[in-house]
Amino acid sequence: MPAVPLYAQLINLLAAVLLLLAFAMLSQRRVLSLIDLFAAQGAALALSTAIVAWATGQRHLYWSAGLTLGLKVLVLPWILRRLIHRLDIEWEFERLINIPTTMLIGIVLVVFAFNLAVPIAELANTVTRSTLGIALACVMLSFLMMITRRKAISQVLGFLAMENGLFFAATSATYGMPMVVELGIALDVLVGVLILGVFFFQIRDRLDSLGFANLERSRDDD
């Protein structure tokens, strides 16, 4: 059995870190800690992309890694922390499903993602195809976080974490997307977060809460 190259071992390690961070976000109640975990995901994703670029000679992935580092580790967490402090939201106690049940569902989704990725990974010829199952699992766990949270800010973090999983899946399967596409997606994500920040302030000013349940009650009252 041939030895696994060092870069492949590092990529597999970072893939495992991404999966563990996804589970940590799923169980986290403190909103600021969610932002820190999202930034840690971005750092792991940037490092993984840089390693793939070094191992394969795909130079455009260095730009992708730098863009990921700047946007998801520095800019977006900074914007989200400012929103949290101005909105005065530290904790999220309201959940649709309790944490133990959510974690059990997450484990089932991980098993499903690995089984789903097996035939897809066999068709790929990249050195990182073995991490495709983890990438799909991260996407599913992020989606689960979105649908089990009541606060809008936590759901936005779930959406951003899902985008991390999709980016890691693209890196695993095809060595990334064209640079123009990645820049467009990065700009869309940044503008979307800024618009959602304004949206959060409008919800709080009207309802004194960022829970979507209150928004639905307000719509019914109208």
Place of tokens 């959060």: 200
In a domain, 218, yes or no: no
- pLDDT of residue 212 exceeding 60, the answer is no
Using CA atoms, how far apart are residues 179 and 168, in angstroms rounded to an integer? 15
pLDDT tens digits for 73-131? Answer: 998 888 888 877 777 766 665 667 788 898 999 999 999 988 888 777 666 655 566 78
Please tell me the pTM assigned to this model.
0.78
Using CA atoms, how far apart are residues 214 and 37, in angstroms rounded to an integer? 27
What is the predicted pLDDT for the residue at 106? 92
Burial 155-193 (b: 16+ CB within 10 A, else e): bbbbbbbbbbbbbbbbbbbebbbeeeebeebbeebeeeb
Q: How confident is the model at residue 62 (pLDDT cuts 50, 70, 90)?
A: confident
In a domain, 189, yes or no: yes
In a domain, 217, yes or no: no
How close are the terminal C-alpha atoms of the chain, in Å? Answer: 68
In a domain, 222, yes or no: no
What is the predicted pLDDT for the residue at 185? 56
What is the predicted pLDDT for the residue at 33? 87
- pLDDT of residue 52 exceeding 70, the answer is yes
- pLDDT of residue 151 exceeding 90, the answer is no
In a domain, 99, yes or no: yes
For residue 114, how many other CB atoms are within 10 A of its CB?
15
Is the CB of residue 83 less than 8 Å from the CB of residue 200?
yes
- pLDDT of residue 53 exceeding 70, the answer is yes
- The structural domain count of the chain equals 1
In a domain, 1, yes or no: no
What one-letter code names the amino acid at 190? L
pLDDT tens digits for 1-13? Answer: 456 678 888 888 9
What is the predicted pLDDT for the residue at 104? 93
pLDDT tens digits for 161-207? Answer: 888 888 888 777 666 555 444 555 555 565 566 555 555 555 555 54
In a domain, 205, yes or no: yes
In a domain, 158, yes or no: yes
CA distances from 34 to 37, 41, 63, 98 (A): 5, 10, 26, 17
What is the predicted pLDDT for the residue at 37? 93
Using CA atoms, how far apart are residues 45 and 124, in angstroms rounded to an integer? 20
Containing structural domain, residue 132? 6-211
pLDDT tens digits for 19-49? Answer: 999 999 988 888 888 889 999 999 999 998 8
What is the predicted pLDDT for the residue at 72? 87
Q: Residue by residue, what is the 3-state secondary structure of 51-114?
A: HHHHHHCCCHHHHHHHHHHHHHHHHHHHHHHHHHHHHCCCECCCECCCHHHHHHHHHHHHHHHH
